[in-house]
Amino acid sequence: MPRRPNILWIVTTQWRGQATGYAGDPNARTPCLDALAAESENFAQAVTPHPFGPFARAAMLTGVPSPANGVRDYHDPLPAGAPTLAQALAARGYATAFFGKWHLGRRDPAAPLVGDVHATMVVPPAERGGFAFWEGFEGGFLLNDPWFHGTRLPRPERLAGYQSDVVCARAAEWVGSQGPPYFCVVSLEPPHPPYDAPAAGVGPRDPRGIALPGNVPRGGPVELRARRELAGYYAHLEATDRAIGRLLAAKIGDATVVVFTSVHGDMHGAHGLFRKGWPYEESVRVPLLVRGARAAGRSDAAVSLLDLPGWALAWAAGEEPPPAAAFADISMPSVVRLPHQCDRAWRGVRSPARKLVCEADGTPWLFFDLERDPGELENLAGDPSRADEIAKLAPQLLRTDRV
């Protein structure tokens, strides 16, 4: 690892860990990411620390889980004084930049989440996470013709095109103008809903041809909705894969560590549920590729997006990141009062082999043997034969070494 390599994060929203060609999803057309995976370390068991956007984004930028990083509720902003990775790398001589979806500003809970209100909300320079160059939008879920403001745009301006294309093109322009070293975050909303939005000319799939996993109930409204949503979801995956491919084909520098991931997934009908916040694999497991740090291949280490800041600081020093822990922490610090989201706060630990999730009061809620039951069809939390195993895992939920 050379000292002070460029570091490029490509962060999507709602992209499930299972939903790529290289992961074996028969529905996914992701040739650019498949090519990246062939050159990367593929962390096939990676999880988000919190399967909801603001909590996960705050954790990624600070290296501190929610709520300790100051983001306890969906509408909480990242505190203006919170130490971030951008600040730490700038102190090490890095140029820093952020492009795209922020979702960590001071939002009005009464304002509609979808549309121009959040898309045109100006994030003050002091609240942009310490990035020297910042160009993006708070939210709004406008997958086409997004609004942008920031370092070069003091007032929001609407830019024509598919959001992933616009964000990646503007990031590529900045990266191409930089000498080493730089740290650049490219933050994309797709494949977040609305799934029926146009996807840069990629048409939706035939819902009848979507291959559904075995944990999606068949023969009723859940299956119908899952097929309808996934038809558009996979179109946005394909369109965003193309945009990422063009970014990676740009002049990003030879000595660049490229990270591709997502802040969380989407249930898409698994276990009869939709959206995120849930502790199931479709919600918490995310893609994580790292090119340029170590040899290409598959890793089944228990890693989390919470590990990324520490990795980046190690890379900047030309060092090997510390080994992964035995378990990755997962949690929802609060209930998000939006339709279809998880109905309770919870905390859990996950290894490649097991997952234990407890209610806020510590009562075991879910326990899965992921080796034998990857679809999480059998909840073993009440199985007397697993009581000792659960009792050994439960203390992991009380660890404070990462806070």
Rounded Cα distance, 111 and 351, in Å: 39
Of residues 231 and 81, more confidence is placed in 231
Rounded Cα distance, 310 and 290, in Å: 14
Rounded Cα distance, 366 and 375, in Å: 13
For residue 276 the two structure tokens come to 């995120």
Phi first, then psi, for residue 228 (nearest 5°) are -65, -45
Q: For residue 154, name the pLDDT band (cuts at 50, 70, 90).
A: very high
Rounded Cα distance, 171 and 160, in Å: 16
DSSP-based three-state secondary structure for 22: coil
The CA distances from residue 30 to 26, 37, 49, 241, in Å, are: 11, 10, 25, 6
**Mean pLDDT confidence for 216-228:** 98
Q: Are strands 182-187 and 256-262 parallel, antiparallel or unpaired?
A: unpaired
Amino acid at 113: L
**Mean pLDDT confidence for 302-316:** 97
> What pLDDT is stored for residue 399 in this prediction?
55
Rounded Cα distance, 369 and 33, in Å: 29
For residue 248 the two structure tokens come to 């990676």
The CA distances from residue 131 to 88, 273, 329, 354, 403, in Å, are: 10, 37, 27, 38, 23
> What pLDDT is stored for residue 392 in this prediction?
87
Per-residue pLDDT tens digits for 106-140? 988 899 999 999 999 999 999 999 999 999 999 99
For residue 109 the two structure tokens come to 């809970």
103: pLDDT strictly greater than 90 = yes
> What pLDDT is stored for residue 33 in this prediction?
98
**Mean pLDDT confidence for 164-189:** 97
Contact 45, 301 (CB under 8 A): yes
> What pLDDT is stored for residue 2 in this prediction?
74
Rounded Cα distance, 288 and 196, in Å: 26
402: pLDDT strictly greater than 70 = no
Percentage of the chain modeled with pLDDT above 90: 91
> What pLDDT is stored for residue 403 in this prediction?
39
Rounded Cα distance, 141 and 114, in Å: 6
Looking up tokens 């992701």 gives 30
Contact 34, 316 (CB under 8 A): no
170: pLDDT strictly greater than 80 = yes
Sorted by sequence, the CB contacts under 8 Å of residue 290 that are 6+ apart come out as 40, 41, 43, 257, 258, 259, 311
> What pLDDT is stored for residue 315 in this prediction?
97
Per-residue pLDDT tens digits for 231-286? 999 999 999 999 999 999 999 988 999 999 999 999 999 999 999 999 999 999 99
Rounded Cα distance, 100 and 186, in Å: 6
* Beta-bridge mates of residue 184: 8, 97
> What pLDDT is stored for residue 400 in this prediction?
47
For residue 393 the two structure tokens come to 């895992």
> What pLDDT is stored for residue 394 in this prediction?
84
H or E stretch including 188?
Answer: none
> What pLDDT is stored for residue 172 in this prediction?
98
The CA distances from residue 50 to 83, 143, 347, in Å, are: 19, 23, 9
Rounded Cα distance, 265 and 276, in Å: 7
For residue 65 the two structure tokens come to 């889980």
For residue 330 the two structure tokens come to 């997962």
CATH 3.30.70.640 for the 6-326 domain, yes or no: no
> What pLDDT is stored for residue 20 in this prediction?
98
Q: For residue 401, name the pLDDT band (cuts at 50, 70, 90).
A: very low
Q: For residue 321, name the pLDDT band (cuts at 50, 70, 90).
A: very high
Looking up tokens 């304002």 gives 111
Percentage of the chain modeled with pLDDT above 70: 98
The CA distances from residue 394 to 179, 361, 367, 385, 399, in Å, are: 48, 12, 11, 16, 10
Residue 198: Cβ within 10 Å count? 16
Mean pLDDT score of the chain, rounded to an integer? 95
Side-chain-side CA neighbours of residue 212 (13 Å):
26
Residues making up the chain, counted from first to last: 403
> What pLDDT is stored for residue 398 in this prediction?
60
> What pLDDT is stored for residue 254 in this prediction?
83
The pTM score is: 0.97
